Amino acid sequence: MELLKMLSASEIIAQILSFFLLLFLMRHFAWKKILGLLDQRREKIRAEFEKIEDAELKVAGMKADYESRLASIQEEADSRIQEAVQQGRKITEEIRKSAREEAQDIITEARKQVEYEVSRSQEQLKDKIVDIALDAARNVIQEKLTEDGDRKIVEDFIKEIENVE
């Protein structure tokens, strides 16, 4: 209230006129520039937001593309792993088959060798028995034929056969 008492009506009117004059001058000379600057600032902000939205859309597209490529790479890797596993199994089976065939060949060859050795041993045994029988017969003929002598010759013959086996 004291403030109003200090001011006179002419001062208040002068202040109001100064305010409206300043408002008119500002509106006439500066208001358009200030509004223009504000409009430019608003347009610049809107353009920045559009750029940000475009960038976000681009990033989202790139992310989707990246995820798609990553998924296809993963599928390809899984496919190649499966192929390698199948190929490994196939090679393993081929190696096993080859090993079985080779083992069978070795067994067959060993059997043939054993049969040959048995046959040869039998032939040698027959030859030895024939030689022993001939020696025994020669001894029988040379010695006097007695029952004790014949028994001794047969026993010696049996002992020699046992030693051969």
Q: What is the pLDDT of residues 29-88, one digit of tens each?
A: 887 888 888 899 999 999 999 999 999 999 999 999 999 999 899 999 999 999 999 999
pLDDT greater at residue 147 or residue 33: 33
Mean pLDDT to the nearest integer, 90-108 = 91
Instruction: In whole angstroms, give the CA distance from residue 31 to residue 23.
Output: 9
| Of 77, 84, 80, 163, nearest in space to 128 by CA | 163
Instruction: Locate 48 and state its tokens.
Output: 């920045």
Identify the pLDDT of residue 27: 81
- Domains identified in the chain, total number: 1
Within a domain: 144: yes
Answer for the pair 158, 129: CB distance below 8 angstroms, yes or no. no
Identify which of 56, 64, 120 has the alpha carbon closest to the alpha carbon of residue 72. 64
| pLDDT grade for 160, boundaries at 50, 70 and 90 | confident
Residue 19 included in any domain: no
Average pLDDT of the chain to the nearest whole number: 84
What pLDDT score was predicted for residue 1?
A: 54
Is residue 9 a part of any domain in this protein? Answer: no
Whether 148 is covered by a domain: the verdict is yes
- Global model pTM greater than 0.85: no
In a domain, 8, yes or no: no
Residue 142 lies in a domain: yes
Q: Which domain holds residue 61?
A: 29-164
Tell me whether residue 14 is in a domain: no
Whether residue 140 is contained in a domain is answered as yes
